[in-house]
Amino acid sequence: MHKLKRYEKLADEISALIRQGVLAPNDRIPSVRQACQAYSVSPATVFKAYYLLEDRGLIQARERSGYYVREHVRQPLAEPAMQARQPGATEVDVSELVFSVLGSLRNPHTVPFGSAFPSADLFPLARLARSMGQSLRQLSPHAIIADQTDGNPELKRQIALRYMVSGVLLPMEELVITTGAMEALNLCLQAVTEPGDLVAIEAPAFYACLQVLERLKLKAVEMPVHPRDGIDLGSLEHSLANLPIKACWFMSSFQNPIGASLSEASKQRLSDLLHQHQVPLIEDDVYAELHYGFQPPRPLKSYDTQGLFMHCGSFSKCLAPGYRVGWVAGGRYTQKIAQLKLMTTISPSVPTQAAIADYLQHGGFDRHLRKLRQALEQQQQAMLAAAARHFPESTRVTRPEGGYFCGSNSPNRWTR
């Protein structure tokens, strides 16, 4: 795993100050001498950090004057307010609307602001293709059969190593490899619910979450989401005490569609609530690798002491769109999830599992992630600046600390 160098950490700290508006457009950032004194680093470290910030498009040098925050990162629009929700359960019926939106993506002239499809140019597809060829040449006849049921062992080992970095010591036997995160999320929900059950979800929610509830004939209990702080834990506590909620489906970091993240204290409180009421959690954490700062967010899974939390991830958002390789760390529900998978899809593609495993070993995943995070952060700043220039002054926007999304709202609706 890549350990950030001091200049990279310094660049991330200054990036955070710019993102948060502490350093405003055209503000002069600390001189090299001031930065050396403030951060106890050498001039060489400061220069490398400032060159990195220039590459990210966040600052610019002015001759004989120093370094300044670039104009395009300004963020004058205010943050949205959390929208109240009526307590109680709701029947879900959204598929026709969702299908119509997804159908519009077939038009090559459509810019898909409504869904998480970044430019394919941001991903190392050529290097992945080489990993595919290399892994196929080494794939044994036995593995082609065995990996269908158990998953590629090297892929599971690499995933377990990344969990270790995030503070979760996970046995490989707890991992179930799936056809993308959507299959993982579907299987988790099927493992802990029956038709007619109540499921706590975020509001606004990821549209596919609503589709899954509709398909499984489950009822939604909406939890308001603060645009910066995430799920309203007071509403959740009240609902858990008064409604027979059978499961929760939440995104703790860089939530889709508004980018909200729970603080560490909120994650601990949420974990305590679910343990107290013995309600299983399905954690959709597909954007966890896309944090802009140097400190990755801890998954809710890291707070689970009872095997009650199912943690779902995928390589589709951070490495290999279209390869459809995801997983779930299933806790006490692992065996049931694995059985449900064998009863439906049996296995994700064995060659794509092998290709991802080879890339994680040899392809420079952490180097790719650093470049991807920088590109996404730069694009977010450009989008916020464009919104400030072209949207009405009443527009409210979110400023996530990672992921793909910026949310905005008017008095009656959310967009992204």
Distance between CA atoms of residues 349 and 322, nearest Å: 12
Q: Reduced to 3 states, what is the DSSP secondary structure of residue 87?
A: coil
Per-residue pLDDT at 393 = 79
Of 272, 300, 266, the C-alpha closest to 284 is 300
- Which of the given ranges, 1-5, 101-105, 139-143, 302-306, has the highest pLDDT on average? 302-306
Query: Which region among 23-27, 134-138, 371-375 has the lowest average model confidence (pLDDT)?
Result: 23-27
In terms of pLDDT, which residue wins out, 305 or 385? 305
- What structural domains does the chain harbor? 6-73 (1.10.10.10), 89-362 (3.40.640.10), 376-415 (no CATH)
Which amino acid is it at 151? Answer: G
Average pLDDT, the chain: 87
In terms of pLDDT, which residue wins out, 146 or 94? 146
Distance between CA atoms of residues 225 and 213, nearest Å: 19
Most distant CA pair in the chain, distance: 69
Residue 346 forms beta bridges with which residues? none
Over residues 198-222, mean pLDDT: 94
Identify whether the C-beta of residue 226 lies closer than 8 Å to the C-beta of residue 258: no
Query: Which region among 12-26, 92-106, 266-280, 336-350 has the lowest average model confidence (pLDDT)?
Result: 92-106
Distance between CA atoms of residues 357 and 92, nearest Å: 38
- Which of the given ranges, 20-29, 331-340, 405-414, has the highest pLDDT on average? 331-340
Distance between CA atoms of residues 213 and 201, nearest Å: 10
Buried b / exposed e across 335-354, counting CB within 10 Å, b at 16+?
eebbebbeeeeebbebbbbb
Distance between CA atoms of residues 182 and 403, nearest Å: 18
Q: State whether the Cα torsion 346-351-356-361 is positive or negative.
A: positive
Q: Reduced to 3 states, what is the DSSP secondary structure of residue 228?
A: coil
Q: Reduced to 3 states, what is the DSSP secondary structure of residue 160?
A: helix
Over residues 294-309, mean pLDDT: 92
Over residues 148-165, mean pLDDT: 91
Q: Which positions ≥6 away from 21 have C-beta within 8 Å?
A: 75
Q: Where are the alpha helices (DSSP H) in 249-307?
A: 264-277
Q: What is the pLDDT of residues 272-294, one digit of tens each?
A: 999 999 999 999 999 999 998 87
Q: What is the pLDDT of residues 231-273, one digit of tens each?
A: 999 999 999 999 999 999 999 999 999 899 999 999 999 999 9
Per-residue pLDDT at 395 = 83
Of 342, 296, 306, the C-alpha closest to 4 is 296
Per-residue pLDDT at 38 = 86
Per-residue pLDDT at 411 = 45
Over residues 180-194, mean pLDDT: 96
Over residues 74-99, mean pLDDT: 64
pTM recorded for the entire structure: 0.81
Residue 317 has pLDDT above 90, yes or no: yes
Q: 309-314 and 281-284: which strand pairing?
A: parallel
In terms of pLDDT, which residue wins out, 383 or 309? 309
Q: Reduced to 3 states, what is the DSSP secondary structure of residue 285?
A: coil
Of 175, 169, 168, the C-alpha closest to 154 is 175
Q: Where are the alpha helices (DSSP H) in 58-179?
A: 95-103, 125-138, 141-150, 153-165
**Orientation angle between helical segments 365-390 and 6-19, nearest 10 degrees:** 20
